[in-house]
Amino acid sequence: MDAGFDGFGPQDLSQDQVDRMCGQLLASVPRSDQRRWGELYVRGLLSAKGRKTMKGIAEAADAGAMQSLQQFITTSPWEWKPVRQSLARFVDRELQPVAWIVEPLAVPKAGRYSVGVERQLVPGLGRMANCQQSAGVWLASEEASCPVDWQLALPATWVPGSEQRRRAAVPDHVRSQTPVECAVGSVVSMAEEWRLTPRPVVMAATGDDLAGVLTAFVPRRIPFVLRVDASLQVTPADPRLPVGDGRRLPAEHLIASVRELGAAVEWRDSWYARHRVAKVVGVRVALPTLHDRAASMPPLFLIGAWTDPKQARPTELFLSNIGHLSSSALFRIAKLTRRVSRDLQDVCDRVGIRDFAGRSFRGWHHHATLVSIAHAISVLARLPRQSGRLLSQRRLPLIGSR
């Protein structure tokens, strides 16, 4: 997998393999003809060259019915949530993921009619862009990752009753949300309804987003490792620390003050398929800005890392509610974002996650769901396996049990 994914040819993936996985994952789709179109669409995503247009998908799948595939994606009333739940349980069982990774996705658009498109600030780019923004939740191990849920972030201008929403057939109950709010909603739904093994949620929660993430995750006891701002105000909660006098200070200053307590940690950088070493230290903290929630707030752990030893300040900071793992293990779990970023580029992009050209809300969700199935087939079919399970010398601890 680390060498990259070049797509499947007929010699790499048999029709029986695709049909078997699609038959299992699309079992909740009620009609046999709909399941057939779903299988054909997935096969087209896997085998079509270049950008995954509807014409290219139809030709690659030998469907000979582009109009029927278009209708199946854009207007057919099949529900995507049960399909995603089936996919998530399948990946959870086969991959045995270490974490749930939230990965934002921005797709630039030239026009203004695609669902969710607006000129808006894209945090990952640090600038304004005319684009769609969404959030994916991925199940990830050190060996592979797979997206299992997607939420489209509707900008504030997409208010109920607007012409934009009418054209895209956005349901009235769907409200405008930021990508972070979308991700939180996905995680909460997965944790409460999807019957998955609990895993730590890894995501960025910076600025004003942090309070909302904690408000959603803490009462539900969802384990997390959150990337946070260097300027986050914290109070040391360990009296043994030289700065443990109860005063507030920026997170990076606290971590820098205890740098000598850190340890060298080897971690796998999946983007470059190599192992690296970082210096990592963790301390127990409280968040004074959330004093109104102090009664229900569990112990929190601030983890700082120097991936560049020449830097005086920590290069990354994370906040976690997982108290039984070392700061080294939490850091390595956090760095699974590199696995997802690599798989997004090498697999998910190549099976068409950015290529939906339709304008409907339903169509976007249908396309994203089938792309996720194609991604899962691509990844799981290539990993070494024995008796239907992934072979792995897993070093990261698994949190949660059935």
Report the alpha-carbon distance of residue 16 to residue 24 in Å, rounded: 12
Which token pair is 189? 């739904």
**Residue 285 per-residue DSSP state:** E
In angstroms, the CA 263 to CA 19 distance is 49
Assign 130 to helix, strand or coil.
strand
Q: Per-residue pLDDT tens for 73-128?
A: 999 999 999 999 999 999 999 999 999 999 999 999 988 888 999 998 888 777 89
Task: Give per-10-residue mean pLDDT for the chain (402 aa).
Answer: 44 70 92 93 92 92 84 95 97 95 94 88 84 96 96 91 90 93 98 96 95 94 97 87 76 93 94 94 88 66 92 94 95 97 96 94 97 94 59 57 40
Model confidence pLDDT, tens digit, residues 260-304: 999 999 999 999 999 999 999 999 999 987 755 545 677 899 999
Q: Packing angle between helix 32-47 and helix 15-25, nearest 10 degrees?
A: 130
Task: Provide the token pair at 246.
Answer: 């109860």
Question: Tell me, what's the pLDDT at 95?
Answer: 92
State the average pLDDT for the chain: 88
Task: Return d(Cα 325, Cα 329) in angstroms, integer.
Answer: 6
CA distance 119 to 366: 24
DSSP-derived letter for residue 277 is E
> Are 96 and 390 a contacting pair, CB within 8 Å?
yes
Instruction: Provide the token pair at 258.
Output: 């205890």
